[in-house]
């Protein structure tokens, strides 16, 4: 006997899982979402909320309430090559309700979705509950084994969704084959304080053999320092003071605060991976978000892709789930809808990794902005192109008629 029974069981309380759970419950479908932690506080949760995501919130009637949460707005992306600033993207021309990127701690975003979900009678969120493996019968997945701090439970479901990230337990237990596309970089993740005279913009800083992105989080900078993959031990061997001086050489304005890094425990490693599944589904089971395709942090689009997957899945699967007629064709259609945007986005990320970032990190000569970026500086209208690709993505999704609120 199953401990719990639902129509859809979603493993993973990240952007993909929470958005899908909320949309399906809103559309009148019984949903259980499993989050393995007791809260949503994670160091490596991305905090870029793209215009396409905020347009979805507008379509749901939630944008005004959503934007009451603490956030900062970025209408432009700038890269600094030494002391030269190059404008990269201008979001202000996008035809959306919120034409900018909102930087908001992802835990606030997830708490917001969780709170909206709890207002719905068909939504159930189980914290401290880890999805471990699908339960199969008659050649299809019919539920999920999960574990709480006290015991193992089983959940019977018409559909199991793996939205549990790039190291998905469900994906591994189900035997999905992963195609690794490669990532030649890793990221060191740390905080430095913001001072009153600092620039307000989030920006990328490029210098000879060094590259760092600084995200404005109000009273501190969240810093992402890019390194060649596997080179952390070499940096550690050189010593923390050498790393601090690297930061000062890259951005001299940080000289008065790099001492805030007291030890290597203050610096976390984010191992970058770019991969995807050839097939995202099996009968009764589908993977979405990072469980289906891990993205590079380039462009900060991973959250955006995950949410777009969730909306596409909800649009296609809501009616079959509600009417108890879910088929393999429906699951295949979700992958068919989202595979093209995934491939295009990953191809662009890999091209930037291999042709821009890797040569930059290996370079010994002073860095000059590439010609294509100088075009963006000389011709402002061209900045709308990267703004569209980053802010809206390939084939943006919208809230369809099947997701009309139902009891």
Q: Give me the pLDDT at residue 1, please.
A: 55
Entry field: residues in the chain: 407
Contact predicate 248/254, CB 8 Å: yes
Pairing of strands 31-35, 123-127: parallel
State pLDDT tens for residues 11-37: 999 999 999 999 999 999 999 999 999
Q: Give me the pLDDT at residue 300, please.
A: 82
Q: For residue 316, what are the contacts with CB-CB under 8 A and spacing of at least 6? A: 330, 333, 334, 337
State pLDDT tens for residues 175-225: 999 999 988 889 999 999 988 878 766 777 877 678 888 887 778 888 999
Instruction: Tell me 361's DSSP state.
Output: H
- Residue linked to tokens 């997830």: 110
Q: Give me the pLDDT at residue 222, please.
A: 85
Burial class of 78 by CB neighbour count within 10 A (0 to 12, 13 to 18, 19+): middle
- Which token pair is 213? 């992105």
Strand order in the sheet with 293-294: 178-180, 275-277, 293-294
Q: Give me the pLDDT at residue 310, please.
A: 98
Q: What is the CATH number of domain 1-44+106-181+273-355?
A: 3.50.50.60
State pLDDT tens for residues 379-400: 999 999 999 999 999 999 999 9
Q: Give me the pLDDT at residue 99, please.
A: 97
**Where is 339: in which H helix or E strand?**
helix 328-352
> Per residue in 110-148, is it b (16+ CB within 10 Å) or e — as a string?
bbbbbebbeebebbbbbeebbbbbbbbeeeebbbbbbbe
Contact predicate 32/374, CB 8 Å: no
Domain map (residue ranges) of the chain: 1-44+106-181+273-355, 185-228+230-271
Q: Which residues of the chain, if any, have pLDDT below 50?
A: none
- Which token pair is 69? 């949460």
The Cα–Cα gap between 224 and 210 comes to 11
């Amino acid at each position: 006997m199953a401990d719990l029974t639902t129509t859809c069981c979603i493993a993973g309380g990240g952007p993909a899982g929470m958005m899908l759970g909320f949309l399906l419950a809103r559309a009148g479908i019984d949903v259980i979402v499993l989050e393995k932690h007791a809260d949503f506080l994670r160091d490596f949760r991305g905090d870029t909320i793209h215009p396409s995501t905020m347009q979805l919130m507008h379509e749901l009637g939630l944008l005004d309430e959503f934007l009451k949460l603490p956030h900062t707005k970025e209408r432009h992306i700038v890269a600094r090559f030494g002391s030269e600033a190059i404008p990269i993207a201008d979001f202000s021309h996008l035809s959306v309700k919120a034409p900018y990127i909102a930087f908001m701690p992802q835990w606030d975003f997830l708490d917001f979705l969780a709170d909206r979900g709890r207002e719905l009678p068909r939504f159930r969120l189980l914290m401290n509950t880890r999805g471990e493996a699908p339960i199969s019968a008659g050649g299809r997945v019919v539920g999920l084994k999960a574990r709480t701090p006290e015991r193992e439970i089983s959940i019977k479901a018409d559909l199991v969704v793996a939205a549990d990230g790039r190291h998905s337990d469900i994906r591994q237990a189900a035997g999905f084959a992963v195609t690794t596309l490669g990532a030649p970089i890793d990221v060191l993740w740390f905080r430095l304080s913001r001072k009153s005279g600092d620039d307000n913009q989030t920006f990328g800083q490029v210098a000879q053999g060094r590259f760092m992105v600084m995200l404005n989080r109000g009273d501190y900078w969240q810093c992402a320092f890019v390194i060649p993959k596997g080179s952390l031990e070499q940096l550690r061997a050189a010593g923390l003071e050498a790393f601090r001086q690297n930061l000062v050489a890259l951005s001299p304005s940080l000289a008065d605060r790099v001492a805030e890094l007291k030890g290597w425990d203050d610096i976390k490693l984010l191992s970058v991976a770019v991969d995807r599944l050839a097939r995202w589904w099996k009968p009764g089971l589908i993977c979405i978000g990072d469980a289906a395709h891990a993205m590079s942090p380039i462009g900060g689009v991973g959250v955006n892709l995950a949410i777009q997957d969730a909306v596409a899945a909800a649009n296609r699967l809501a009616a079959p789930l509600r009417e108890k007629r879910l088929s393999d064709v429906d699951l295949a259609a979700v992958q068919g809808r989202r595979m093209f945007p995934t491939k295009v986005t990953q191809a662009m990320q890999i091209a930037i990794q291999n042709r821009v970032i890797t040569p930059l990190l290996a370079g010994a000569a002073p860095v000059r902005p590439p010609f294509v970026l100088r075009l963006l500086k000389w011709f402002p209208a061209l900045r709308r192109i990267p703004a569209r690709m980053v802010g809206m993505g390939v084939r943006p999704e919208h809230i369809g008629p099947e997701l009309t609120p139902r009891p």
